[in-house]
Structure 1
């Protein structure tokens, strides 16, 4: 299993929107960055991810699971763009802020710290465990 982070502006698509989709999940569409798209192409069913609210909140607020592997993005006719579907698993007990992540030496090499603008990014198993612990959820 691999781990990922999915960033969204809560005013556009927030954690509550994701939770409302239930087991069906939702396309992680609209991504127009080749590196982020390529990461989605690597994802497999059952991979886990963090749901991250960007903008003012800048915090991990929930756990998600990939429920459909890469397929054409329904928001465009351009065949270059693909997306996965994700479903909400559960919220974290305590949101894990970007400031908290940056202040933890165990997370200093995390992609979120080094390239905070990338909307879909990998997370290592060690980073996953640390952040789950900070968020009060089992890894």
Structure 2
């Protein structure tokens, strides 16, 4: 099993939105970065777990956990001219963009804010989220970093 962190703006799609979906499952679409796409297309497998990260909000941070419930498949939003994620250069015969399906596992007992995560940069050395300039919306998480972040959840807010 692999571990991931996947970012979404909560105004667009939040952990609560995922929980409210039919079967608590949704396609994670609209990713338009090649490295993030490659993770979803080539590396994510059914059963992997992902931290649901709320980004671009007043207090960004890890809000919940979801499971990859379907491995990478073509993101058909790229083919729909009426979709905000439309890519006129994407071809259904040779898809450029991929997505995975995710299923709600649980909301964290408390949001683990990015500022708090950065306060533990030494313990999280090598974790892409704490690297300067890392803007990927999908990134791998080492098991030791996964466990550390979930330990932070248990501590009172700093």
TM-score normalised by the chain length of structure 1: 0.93
Q: How far has the Cα of 1:30 moved from its partner?
A: 0.3
Distance 1:90 1:52 in 2: 13
1:1-139 matches, cutoff 5 A? 1-21=1-21, 23=23, 25-41=25-41, 42-55=43-56, 56-77=58-79, 78=90, 79-104=95-120, 105-114=122-131, 115-136=133-154
Out of 22-31 and 118-127, give the one that drifted further. Answer: 22-31
Aligned counterpart, 2:85: none
Q: CA RMSD in A?
A: 1.5
Structure 1 gap segments, 5+ residues each? none
**Structure 1: 4+ residue segments shifted above 4 A:** none
SS of residue in 2 equivalent to 1:83: strand
Give me the TM-score of the superposition, normalised by structure 2.
0.82
Size of the aligned set, in residue pairs, is 137
Computing the radius of gyration from Cα coordinates, the structure with the larger value is: 2
Structure 2 unmatched ranges of 5 or more: 80-89
Q: Is the 8 A contact 1:21 1:87 kept in 2?
A: no
